[in-house]
A and B are shown apart, each in its own frame.
Chain A
Amino acid sequence: MNPFLALVARDLRLALRQGGDAAMVVGFFVLTVVLFPLGVGPEPELLQRIAPGVVWVTALLAALLSLERLFQADYEDGSLETLALLPLPLEAQVLAKCLAHWLVTGLPLIVVAPLLALLLQLDAAGYPALIASMALGTPTLSLIGAIGAALSLGARRGGVLLSLLVLPLYIPVLIFGVAAVESEIAGFGARPHLLLLAAFLVLALGLVPFAAAAALRLALE
């Protein structure tokens, strides 16, 4: 098997056998969104107004939740050291691990998001834009998170540090993800916002592997 695919397959297999991550991320996403109607009251107009923002903010926090484990387990058991000494460049391995992370956490979020939007009475016109913006935005979340996960390796209280590092970088994705849904509902079309989200994704695909791999090499020295 191609080494890149072998690494993706191994991370998927680990995630499925250990079970925790995907279930935890989706569970957190669902529970947190459900808290909003309970907290702000059941008025449909209000929920409808805040639905895109609530879904996006909680999806972002849910994605953050599983990031700490992205390299941590491999770092602790020595696998990362062995991975770093393979002929496959660490940069490509970062991409493989992000892809596996997105398949396990980002994809389930995209599947669940429309159901939660229904709960929040999202305007029917907003659904395609919501799914499209999450499909373009969540891979960027996984990628940006990889830099934070690599930088916080070996740090005490790495999870808190990771949130502080990564959340500010998530802001553009959040802004344009929400804007895509809202402008589609308002009748302006989501296209410009989706194009910007796609641009972020391309940028992250190009830059993240180098930044994260450099941080991993430092952690291993």
Chain B
Amino acid sequence: MPSPETSTAATFTGRQLACQRGERLIFRALDFALAPGGALILIGPNGSGKSSLLRLMAGLTPPAAGVLAWDGVDTREDRAAHRGRLHFIGHSDALKPVLSPRETLVFWAAMRGAAAEVPQALARFGLEGAADLPCRYLSAGQRRRLALARLTASSAPLWLLDEPLTSLDAEAATQLLAAIAAHRAGGGQIVLSTHAPVELADAARLSLADFRPAREGLLA
């Protein structure tokens, strides 16, 4: 298990964040702080902006208002550095049907220029048996496991996980929680959104419903 270097561990904070999709304001005046080793669980009904907040944290969408900061420095000042410190696992698995899980993980690790820990990552998520099959033969659960295996194949201090438990069986969910626990023990941070009840030791919960704007409309 690669542990993030302690020098890169820093507090990840958001101040007065607002998110707008099209004409609609989804949340506003949202604050959070995530210390090294911390975990933040995003909860809320469908459409409350859990995925939007994760995409905003990753830098895929700019916030309509507010500032995201890493160690007190605005993440937009050095986007490459911010991208280098995070793993984002969205709804789609980002797999190619003709590549095997091993090739997939080797590729993504090479793209991060990191020392690949591919065999360990495959073993951690129970994919050794399918390591050399083309991904088109994998089941939905195996595909999800492979997407998550990217997390441990190369190290990054901040994990942003959008509904990571979708289509995972109980065993894989346990493996994921173990990977998360190990990551946090090494000083890493986690933000995950979920509908399923997740038990993480001293994790903060953020209910997106609390930041819904009082009335529909554009940002003033």
Contacts and interface: CB of A to CB of B under 8 A. Distances in A.
B113 A87 contact: yes
Interface of A is mostly: helix
Given A13-B103, A82-B90, 6 more contacts: A1-B110, A3-B110, A77-B93, A85-B83, A87-B112, A221-B62
B5 to A, nearest CB: 15
B218 interface: no
Interface in B53-98: 58-62, 80-81, 83-84, 86, 88, 90-96, 98
Size range of the chain A interface in the assembly: 20 to 34
B217 to A, nearest CB: 21
A87 B93 CA distance: 19
A78 B92 contact: yes
B111 A78 contact: no
A77 B94 contact: yes
B177 interface: no
Interface in A6-54: 6-7, 10, 13-14, 17-18
Interface of B: 58-62, 80-81, 83-84, 86, 88, 90-96, 98-99, 103, 107-108, 110-113, 150
Nearest to B95: A77
Nearest to A10: B107
Contacts of A14: 96, 98-99
Contacts of B88: 81-82, 85
A155 interface: no
B80 A13 contact: no
Given A81-B88, A85-B58, A85-B88, A3 B96 contact: no
Contacts of B110: 1, 3, 6
Nearest to B160: A85
28 contacts: A1-B110, A2-B113, A3-B111, A7-B111, A10-B99, A13-B99, A17-B98, A17-B99, A18-B98, A73-B96, A77-B92, A77-B93, A77-B94, A78-B93, A79-B95, A79-B96, A81-B60, A81-B92, A81-B94, A82-B90, A82-B108, A82-B150, A85-B58, A85-B59, A87-B81, A87-B113, A88-B111, A221-B60
